Structure 1
């Protein structure tokens, strides 16, 4: 699953950037001079405007039947539930990149040192092979070792089947959840 998602992201990046690079050469082949081609490119970029990634993200999430709320403290932070899990997406209309977060999905008590050790080993293994990474924080007040997942990616309407692309990215978070459980079980039986 990670290979498929990684492949989709790479293809989307290549497609997007190759389209941007081929336009000047096509204009150059038609006999226009370099300054004219550059002016045409700049004019085209001005007409295209900003990427509107945040707006696209909200639209796609609604198509995925997610109720989206905008955080009061940050208008670029979108909160929603997908398959019963709370997610947060940081998306700006000024950038093609988004950060997807799955906060607080696994908690271990700080006094369970053996379980914390097993979880940290599993995190290192998973982060080596997954596009979605696991990070942890320590909550001193509640004495908790808390896991969060994060993925940074490109989101633009030029990506073919962009709704399915976003769905695949969100589903990868659940793949990471399952991988963590699979990694922890053998470590618990070894100890």
Structure 2
């Protein structure tokens, strides 16, 4: 009896797995048409050329009336001012990914423990809901608790309205700063 059940299971598994492998191939040959094949070839050609993201960033920032400086020490670092705020973008021409930084925009003295605690609670709340995250750095030398904002995203050149997309990303940094102020106010009232 066990031999019969084992044989049936082996035959069923063999049928299932061979049928599973054959089915996608059959679907490809049935639905494969010439225009779709041409579109696939064009897509592959697009993917072969580098994204030129750094060059795109420089061009878009200039369109947003920002003066852009390429760091001498780090060639993939772009420094610029947007709406009076200093920003940094780390971008290469080999990747679609960029990192946007808004460094050192909020400082709390290390000896103000209550305010530091309130700021940390506010930061944790915001980071749970925002695409732009807030990170902090403790500067021992100056006895400061310093906040920075960061966002990692993609910046493909063929994205529709790419300039407006970058502007929205940068504007989100200001929204996060306002949100932090409101959260800190809330924390201060609760204490």
- Which blocks of at least 5 consecutive residues in structure 1 are unaligned? 1-23
Aligned to 2:56: 56
Q: What is the rounded CA distance, in whole Å, between the counterparts of 1:90 and 1:169 in structure 2?
A: 14
Show structure 1 runs of 4+ deviating over 4 A. Answer: 36-44
Contact 1:51/1:95, CA 8 A, preserved across alignment? yes
- Flag the structure with more relative contact order, 1 or 2, with Cα contacts below 8 A and sequence separation at least 6: 1
Residues 1:45 and 2:55 aligned together: no
The equivalences for 1:1-191 within 5 A come to 28-30=32-34, 42-46=44-48, 49-191=49-191
Q: What is the rounded CA distance, in whole Å, between the counterparts of 1:157 and 1:65 in structure 2?
A: 19
Q: What is the rounded CA distance, in whole Å, between the counterparts of 1:54 and 1:187 in structure 2?
A: 40
Q: Following TM superposition, by how much is the alpha carbon of 1:28 offset from its aligned partner in structure 2, in angstroms?
A: 3.4
- Which blocks of at least 5 consecutive residues in structure 2 are unaligned? 1-27
When residues 50 and 31 of structure 1 are mapped into structure 2, their CA distance, relative to the original with a 3 A threshold, is closer
When residues 52 and 190 of structure 1 are mapped into structure 2, their CA distance, relative to the original with a 3 A threshold, is same
Contact 1:54/1:93, CA 8 A, preserved across alignment? yes
Q: What is the rounded CA distance, in whole Å, between the counterparts of 1:32 and 1:184 in structure 2?
A: 55
Contact 1:132/1:172, CA 8 A, preserved across alignment? yes
Q: Following TM superposition, by how much is the alpha carbon of 1:53 offset from its aligned partner in structure 2, in angstroms?
A: 0.3
Aligned residues: 163
When residues 119 and 156 of structure 1 are mapped into structure 2, their CA distance, relative to the original with a 3 A threshold, is same
Moved more, 135-144 or 180-189: 180-189
Task: Answer with 1 or 2: which has the greater Rg.
Answer: 2
TM-score by length of 2: 0.79
Aligned CA RMSD, in angstroms, stands at 2.4
TM-score by length of 1: 0.79
